[in-house]
Amino acid sequence: MLRPTKHSHPDRTVINVSLLLLDYLKKYRIEEYGKLRRKIKEKTVGGDVLFLPALSFLYLLGLVEYRPKTDAVEYTGPDEAV
Amino acid sequence: MKYAYEDLSDEQFEQLIVFLCQRLLGISVQGFAKGPDGGRDAKFVGTAELHPSRTAPWSGTTIIQAKHTNGYNRNFSEPDFYSVKSMTSVLAKEIPRIKKLRLNKQLDHYMLFSNRRLAGNAESEIRYYISTQCNIKQESIYLCGLEQLENWLKTFPDVPRLADLDPVDSPLIVSPDDLSDIIQALARQKNTLPNIIDDPPIQRISYEEKNKINQMSVEYAKAQRKRYLKETPIIRTFLAAPENMDLLRMYESVVEEFQLKIITKRKDYQAFDEVLEYLVDLLFHRDPILRGHKRLTRIMLFYMYWSCDIGELGDAETD
């Protein structure tokens, strides 16, 4: 699912969904979990299946944090603007 | 069951029956070479040694017929083997040949062996059917099913050794289990799969070139492409869907099994058409789910070939 294979579609991989997530979160910094999931589902076919693995992937890279109190995902990676 | 008879080739099964009959009837039971057999796989002329008993053995010409199937758990009373109404069942096709031999006085007794289960009722019914159709006395007909065959081979344990039932010589046999799971899931999702335009970055060779390398005939390749190429995006989309990860793994294990078996079992002279048709027949015989989705199974096999998961060299391009 993470690495592309002969049969995988480039748009329907964890890497691609991670990229979409990163793109969105860099822009809006923080977003509600449900809303974020909906956005991804709209953007790519099978996005709902890849959403959680992609989020986990970004968390492992230290780029996002989950905020339980507000049920939101926040971008915590390097801030290019500073 | 001691032997996996369904994994034998037709020739291996015939050979086994010839050796068995040499024990039952006499050493001069004569097997015939592959080809049109006119309703006989082996023949014995004379007085039998053991059959049906030492005290009252058969005397005259005994014709032996072996009917092998690759299917699991098949039985004699299935309509494809025996049906009074059917004109295409195995027995219906056999009856005219037996009749002809009987008319030419080349048949006094008839033995039919098959690796199918034979129940008591079916035995009486089929024996009566052959008897009335071909004008042979019922006591001159012998039907032998799987259970009895097992018993015979226990009585004559050297027969399988003589018949050389070497697993290395067995024909191209693949397991349809995983493929049937994929086909079932594909059949369920077929209509809901969105169409995705894809342009995979794979080095491609022409379809014609691929067919040449794999020895697929031009007519067969054309017919395959005409019928199934338009359907392959369904399978590509299906396999690319992340929710079908487990099915993709299964698909990969199926193609691995198919490809390796084809490489090892395929003889140099065999055209790929034959290999594919053999696979299709085998899969349909063995699995009721695949039998229920014949077209999808064929599309799936074509997809395997088209994307070079089976067969040799790179992916084939559209034109």
Dihedral, CA of residue B10, residue B11, residue B15 and residue B20, to nearest 10: 10
Nearest partner of B304 among B268, B262, B242, judged by Cα:
B262
Question: Can you read off the two tokens belonging to residue A53?
Answer: 């693995």
Distances (CA, A) of A67 to A30, A72, B108: 9, 5, 90
Outline where DSSP puts E strands in B197-309: 204-205
A36 contacts A24 by C-beta, under 8 angstroms:
yes
Distance from CA of A3 to the nearest CA of B (A): 12
What's the pLDDT score for residue A12?
A: 84
Asked if A55 reaches chain B (Cβ–Cβ under 8 Å), the answer is: no
Least CB–CB distance from A9: residue in B198, B243, B251: B198
What's the pLDDT score for residue A1?
A: 66
What's the pLDDT score for residue B3?
A: 74
Distance from CA of A69 to the nearest CA of B (A): 30
Nearest partner of B5 among B71, B98, B85, B90, judged by Cα:
B71
Residue located via tokens 């993470």 = A2
Asked if B193 reaches chain A (Cβ–Cβ under 8 Å), the answer is: no
ipTM: 0.73
Residues of chain B with pLDDT below 50 are 197
pTM of the complete model = 0.62
Least CB–CB distance from B196: residue in A1, A9, A50: A9
What's the pLDDT score for residue B236?
A: 87
Average pLDDT for A40-45: 86
Annotate B190-207 with b (16+ C-beta within 10 A) or e (fewer): eeebeeeeeeeeeeeeeb
B114 contacts B144 by C-beta, under 8 angstroms:
yes
Least CB–CB distance from A45: residue in B196, B200, B248: B196
